[in-house]
Amino acid sequence: MPDQVTLLFEDQGRPLPLHRLAFPQPAYDGAFSFKEVHVSQLKRTLPVARLVDGVGQDVVAPLYDAKLLWMEGGEARVTGIEIDELSQRRTVQTWNVRFAGWQDAGAVARRDPAG
């Protein structure tokens, strides 16, 4: 099962209305990464969050100058700046990330006392 990302903001950086947050949002599947890379269009090195498919293509627009807001229980929230490839417009976006294959090490140790 791949990592999953759901978006908290619509296009143009508008927060999702509360009535829409009450219902499941589309989840995008792929491999999540969070690392510092040189971004040539911004001419600097920044932390970048990405979700890529099996061939390395971005599933959703990467988050530049990304920040980890919280991480717990196999889930995380990451925020950053999306850059539209055509218009170069920059908007804020936040992702909820659910990590595939995550296990609570404490729970595993409690189930396997011989470990």
Print pLDDT tens along the chain (115 aa).
589 998 887 766 667 777 776 777 789 999 999 999 999 888 999 999 999 999 999 999 999 999 999 999 999 999 999 988 888 888 899 999 999 888 766 665 566 655 5
CB-neighbour burial class of residue 114 (10 A; exposed 0-12, middle 13-18, buried 19+) = exposed
Residue 101: the pLDDT is 81
Residue 19: the pLDDT is 72
Residue 44: the pLDDT is 94
Task: Dig out the tokens for 92 from the structure.
Answer: 């804020």
Report residue 72: phi and psi, to 5°: -165, 140
Residues 6+ positions from 73 with CB-CB distance below 8 Å: 102, 104
Q: Domains along the chain?
A: 3-111 (2.30.29)
Q: How many CA atoms lie within 13 A of 28 on its CB side?
A: 20
Segment holding 5, helix H or strand E = strand 3-7
Asked if 2 contacts 29 with a C-beta cutoff of 8 angstroms, the reply is yes
pTM of the model: 0.80
